[in-house]
C-alpha cells in the first residue's frame, strides 16, 4: 500500500452525537452548528506540525510560535521509540529532518522505531530547515531536538493561550498498541477530563470538549482509537487511491508519465459519489466526528493533492453531522476558494496567515514572538 508519508518528502462525549441533516444550521454555515455540538472551535486554525512555515516542524519554536500566535490546535504526528516513548515526528525515517547521516551513518535509513529516545535526542532536528529555507533561517534553530509527546503537551500548557491537541497516529501499523499508549499518556496528563479555562481573551480550546482531536488515515487505527477513547473526537483523514477512497483511474504518478505531481493529483477523481458516501458512512459509524480531506492548491507545490473538498463532498460530511478540516493550506487564495466550498477550518503551516484570513490576526509579529522565546 502507498506510504502516504512519501508524498511530503518532496516537499464528548461525542460518540453518539448525530445531528439530523440541516437541523439548527445556518444555510451557508452547516459545519458551524456541528462544531458547536462537538465542542471544537469554528472555524478551526490547526497549526500543522506547529507554525512550520517559520520554524522547523514539530520542534519547540514551531509549537511555541503556533501557541503564541493564537492557533486553536497544535497538530502533531505521533510515533514510538524503540524503548516505548511517544514522540512527535512526521516521517518514519530521520533523513529529511535530522542529521542522522552524520550521527549514525550506518543506520541513516532505518525506521525511527529502531532508535531509543536517548539516541534520537542526539540528533539535530533544526539545521535542515536553515538549509532548506535560508530566507527563514535562524542560528538558534541549529541543534533543536525531536520532542516527546510530553514535551509538546508542556508547550500546549505553557502559555496564556491554551490550544488543543490535534494528534495523528502516524504509520500506526508499525506501532501495535500505540492507540492504548496514547490513551494512557493523555489520561496521565489530564487531557481526557475537563481542563481549566484560559483567561478571557486567550485561546481556550483546551477547556472545550474537543480539547483533543484524534486523527488517522488508517481505518484500523480509527477503530482502536474509538475503542480506547470513545468520548474523544476523531477525524478520518482522506486520500485518494492506494487503499483509500477508490479513484476513477488506476494510474499512479509513476505510470501516468506526468511531470508535475500536483497536476497529476489534481487530475485524479473519486470513482463515484457512492464510493465517497461509503467512506463518509464508515467514518460516522466508527466514531468520527469529522473528516480531514486532501485538497488541491491553486499554485500547486508539494502540499497540493487531490480535490476532496468539493461542495458535494463537504455536504455529505455535514449531512452526517461531521465537520471538514482540509490539509494543508497556507495561502489566502486557497483559504478563500476552499472556504467557499463549505469547510470548517484548515490544517495550515502558516497560522498567522489563516488567523488574518479569519479576521483575528495575531497581536504580535512572528519575529517578536520568536525573539521573546529565545529564537
Binding site for Ca ion (CB under 5 A): 77, 168
Q: Compute the least distance from the CB of residue 162 to ligand G3P, in Å.
A: 21
**Chain residues in the site for ligand G3P (CB under 6 A):** 8, 48, 77, 90, 168, 215, 237, 292, 327-328, 347
**List 48, 286, 318, 325, catalytic entry:** 48
Report the alpha-carbon distance of residue 74 to residue 135 in Å, rounded.
24
CB of 37 to Ca ion, least distance (A): 25
- CA 130 from centroid of its chain's CA atoms: 23
Closest CA to 132 of 357, 364, 349, 354: 349
Evaluate whether 58 touches 147 at the Cβ level (below 8 Å): yes
Closest to ligand G3P by CB, 68 or 168: 168
Shortest distance (Å) from residue 102 CB to ligand G3P: 26
Cell numbers 503537551 label which residue?
Answer: 153
The helix/strand/coil state of 76 is: strand
Q: Known catalytic residue: 48?
A: yes
- Whichever of 292 and 321 has its CB closer to Ca ion, that residue is 292
d(CA 173, CA 104): 25
Closer by beta carbon to ligand G3P, 126 or else 345: 345
Residue 52 near which of Ca ion, ligand G3P, none (CB within 5-8 Å, type-dependent)? none
Give yes or no for a contact between 262 and 296, defined as CB atoms under 8 angstroms apart.
yes
C-alpha pair distances (Å), 192 with each of 13, 187, 231: 11, 5, 9
From Ca ion, ligand G3P, none, which one binds at residue 8 (CB under 5 to 8 Å depending on kind)?
ligand G3P
* Annotation says 90 is catalytic: yes
The least distance separating Ca ion from the CB of residue 217, rounded to whole angstroms, comes to: 9
Task: Give the distance from CA 32 to its chain's centroid.
Answer: 20
Report in angstroms how near the CB of residue 35 gets to Ca ion at its nearest. 20
Coil, strand, or helix at residue 210?
coil
Radius of gyration of the chain (CA): 19
Closest CB to ligand G3P belongs to which residue?
327
Binding partner at 268 among ligand G3P, Ca ion, none, C-beta below 5 to 8 Å by kind: none
Q: 54 or 77: whose CB is closer to ligand G3P?
A: 77
Contact, 183 vs 15, CB < 8 A? no
267 binds, among ligand G3P, Ca ion, none (CB under 5 to 8 A by kind): none
> Which CB sits closer to ligand G3P, 148 or 169?
169
The entry of ligand G3P, Ca ion, none near residue 276 (CB within 5 to 8 angstroms by kind) is none
How far is the CA of 46 from the CAs of 8, 10, 52, 128, 281, in angstroms? Answer: 18, 22, 11, 24, 25
Contact 310, 343 (CB under 8 A): no
Catalytic residues: 48, 90
Amino acid at each position: 500500500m502507498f506510504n502516504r508519508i512519501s508524498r511530503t518528502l518532496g516537499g464528548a462525549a461525542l460518540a453518539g452525537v448525530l445531528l439530523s441533516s440541516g437541523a439548527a444550521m445556518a444555510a451557508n454555515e452547516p459545519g458551524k452548528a456541528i462544531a458547536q455540538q462537538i465542542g471544537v472551535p469554528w472555524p478551526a486554525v490547526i497549526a500543522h506540525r506547529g507554525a512550520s512555515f517559520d520554524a522547523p516542524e514539530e520542534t519547540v519554536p514551531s509549537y511555541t510560535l503556533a501557541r503564541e500566535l493564537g492557533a486553536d490546535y497544535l497538530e502533531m504526528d505521533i510515533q514510538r521509540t524503540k524503548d516505548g516513548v511517544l514522540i512527535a515526528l512526521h516521517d518514519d525515517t530521520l533523513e529529511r529532518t535530522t542529521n542522522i547521516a552524520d550521527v549514525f551513518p550506518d543506520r541513516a535509513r532505518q525506521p525511527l522505531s529502531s532508535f531509543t529516545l536517548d539516541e534520537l535526542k542526539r540528533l539535530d532536528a533544526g539545521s535542515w530547515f536553515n538549509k532548506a529555507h535560508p530566507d527563514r533561517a535562524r542560528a538558534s534553530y541549529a541543534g533543536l531536538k525531536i520532542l516527546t509527546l510530553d514535551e509538546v503537551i508542556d508547550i500546549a500548557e505553557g502559555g496564556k493561550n491554551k490550544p488543543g491537541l490535534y494528534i495523528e497516529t502516524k504509520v500506526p501499523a508499525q506501532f501495535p498498541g500505540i492507540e492504548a499508549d496514547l490513551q494512557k499518556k493523555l489520561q496521565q496528563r489530564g487531557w481526557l477530563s475537563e481542563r481549566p479555562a484560559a483567561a478571557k481573551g486567550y485561546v481556550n480550546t483546551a477547556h472545550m470538549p474537543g480539547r483533543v482531536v484524534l486523527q488517522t488515515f488508517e481505518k484500523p487505527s480509527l477503530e482502536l482509537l474509538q475503542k480506547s477513547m470513545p468520548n474523544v473526537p476523531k477525524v478520518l483523514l482522506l486520500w485518494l487511491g492506494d487503499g483509500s477512497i477508490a479513484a476513477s483511474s488506476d494510474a499512479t504518478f509513476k505510470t501516468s508519465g506526468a511531470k508535475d505531481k500536483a497536476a497529476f493529483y489534481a487530475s485524479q477523481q473519486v470513482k463515484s459519489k457512492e464510493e465517497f458516501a461509503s467512506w463518509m458512512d464508515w467514518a460516522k459509524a466508527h466514531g468520527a466526528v469529522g473528516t480531514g480531506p486532501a485538497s488541491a492548491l491553486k499554485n500547486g507545490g508539494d502540499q497540493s493533492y487531490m480535490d476532496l473538498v468539493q461542495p458535494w463532498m463537504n455536504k455529505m460530511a455535514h449531512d452526517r453531522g461531521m465537520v471538514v478540516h482540509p490539509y494543508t493550506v497556507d495561502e489566502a487564495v486557497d483559504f478563500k476558494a476552499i472556504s467557499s466550498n463549505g469547510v470548517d477550518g484548515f490544517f495550515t503551516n502558516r497560522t498567522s496567515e489563516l488567523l488574518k484570513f479569519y479576521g483575528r490576526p495575531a497581536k504580535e509579529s512572528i519575529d517578536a514572538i520568536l525573539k521573546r522565546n529565545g529564537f
